[in-house]
Chains A and B, each alone.
Chain A
Amino acid sequence: MTAVYDDLGDEAASDIPVRRIRFTINGAKKIAEIEPRLLLSHLIRRGVGLTGTHMGCDTTNCGACTVLVDGKPVKSCTMLAVQVDGREVTTVEGLASASELHPLQEGFREEHGLQCGFCTPGMMMAAKGLLDRNPNPSEEDVRWALSGNLCRCTGYQNIVKSVLWAAEKQRAQTPGAE
């Protein structure tokens, strides 16, 4: 890879600590050379170029940046990018397979679970964390699992319905499930 940037005559550029990491994102292996202070969300959005993970606040409250790290939903704005060295990251772009949408994506569309769409990737990733742990959640379970993700548009009612729709579809697709 070639990097070209402006030479503004500064000496101090060589003092910047840069670290090399290897990680997997949506199944693709990547190498990155980054400053330790780079947030994971910025690695995903600007480094890898996947802009489906959004940033909505500066105090770790809104959850728009939720991704999976080693299968667990976390707020990517509150992890340093260097922390995913050797780890697997899954973003909204990794939900669908080559031929099919993930049931969560279908559920959000079927049940009008989004309006502006900004919180939606984070909601789906948090919901995926829930469904991976509990394939048959109650409405209360869903609301609890999403309590770290804020939405201003929908009032949550249809988001809950979307997740329950997805849970039902996944159960139907799983042989031997309840």
Chain B
Amino acid sequence: MYPSRFRYEAPRSLDEAIGTLRDGGDYAKILAGGQSLVPMMKLRFASPELIVDINNVPGLDYHRADANGTLRVGALTRHADLEWSPLLKATQPTMAAAAPVIADPLVRNRGTLVGSLCHADPQGDWAAVMISLGASVVAQGPRGRRVIPVADFVTGPFENALAHDEIAVEAVVPPAQGTRAGGYLKLERRVGDFATCGVAVALDISAAGEVIRAGIGLTGVGGATINATQAAAALAGKALTPEAIEAAAELTAQAAQPRTDHRGSAEYKRHMVRTFAARILGAAAPGGTGPATTTERAA
């Protein structure tokens, strides 16, 4: 329960933070929400030498839509900000479905979306959501800014594409082409549990009811977040008929790489992925219940 020793800096600007990282040595970590990092440090699964706390850097706690509909989420935007966001409820059904089921309400007051992406836990919810939306991470470092698609940002379990002196400052979600639909369904045995599995589906649908763009991300059913590209491709250009939904759900299940463990057999998890994908797609179809903002929980 007691972290090992480390040095600590609390810069007051982004440049200062980047400078501290650059000069700070081999093993430095950014502290934003800390709701994944601090627990790991308490168990001594992580022992950084330097903590760079960016909570005092101004201008990072925003989420807004640009004029063209691009959504930008700053690095210090907390999960709770997103859970209660009228903007998200109105325009981003997949994100609005996920935000309330991240961890628990208290953790949501501190944890951040961008931090969650950087942490790259295969059982993290936001990565699947962001992958399904084709989102990107904006990294800032001594050499300037660069934009990294989320699908390339996570390079392995707990590994990301940032250089040691870069900070992720923003997540960017491309604007909707047509009407944005979708949802996030997660099987957890109780609030705060890691996902047995989670399925994020994001769709942009034309006025005629055809899928212009689809994205599907999977949580907790593989060594890293899974981008179910084949399943998503199978939906593009199609209407959400029962046949199309069934086919896409099956492809989604096949993309999963679950392991049998105390949360269930691989067979069960694959079945749940298929079920969740079908339910989200079914809710988004004409005659469906609308955005699948409900979540599955085991009680």
Tell me, yes or no, whether A and B come into direct contact in the complex with CB atoms closer than 8 A: yes
- Interface residues of A, Cβ cutoff 8 Å to B: 16-17, 19, 35-37, 39, 55, 58-61, 63, 66, 72-75, 77-80, 82-83, 85-86, 126, 129, 144-149
**6 A-B pairs with C-beta separation under 8 A:** A37-B41, A58-B43, A77-B42, A79-B34, A80-B38, A83-B55
Which residues on the A side are within 8 Å of B39 (C-beta)?
A: 59-60, 78
- Complex CA gap A141/B125 in Å reads 23
A-contact 0/1 string along B1-32, CB 8 Å cutoff: 11111111010000000000000000000010
Contact of B53 among A37, A58, A83 (CB under 8 A): A83
Beta-carbon contact of A60 and B105 below 8 Å: no
Which residues on the A side are within 8 Å of B10 (C-beta)?
A: 82, 85
Which residues on the A side are within 8 Å of B1 (C-beta)?
A: 39, 55, 58, 77
B109 at the interface (CB under 8 A from A): yes
Beta-carbon contact of B38 and A36 below 8 Å: no
- Complex CA gap A66/B104 in Å reads 12
Once A78-B34, A85-B10 are accepted as A-B contacts, the answer to whether A148 and B107 lie under 8 Å apart by CB is yes
- Chain B: interface secondary structure? loop
Once A36-B51, A58-B1, A147-B191 are accepted as A-B contacts, the answer to whether A82 and B8 lie under 8 Å apart by CB is yes
Beta-carbon contact of A75 and B106 below 8 Å: yes
Once A16-B5, A35-B5, A82-B8 are accepted as A-B contacts, the answer to whether A148 and B110 lie under 8 Å apart by CB is no
Beta-carbon contact of A145 and B107 below 8 Å: no
- Complex CA gap A55/B41 in Å reads 17
A-contact 0/1 string along B54-81, CB 8 Å cutoff: 0110000000000000000000000010
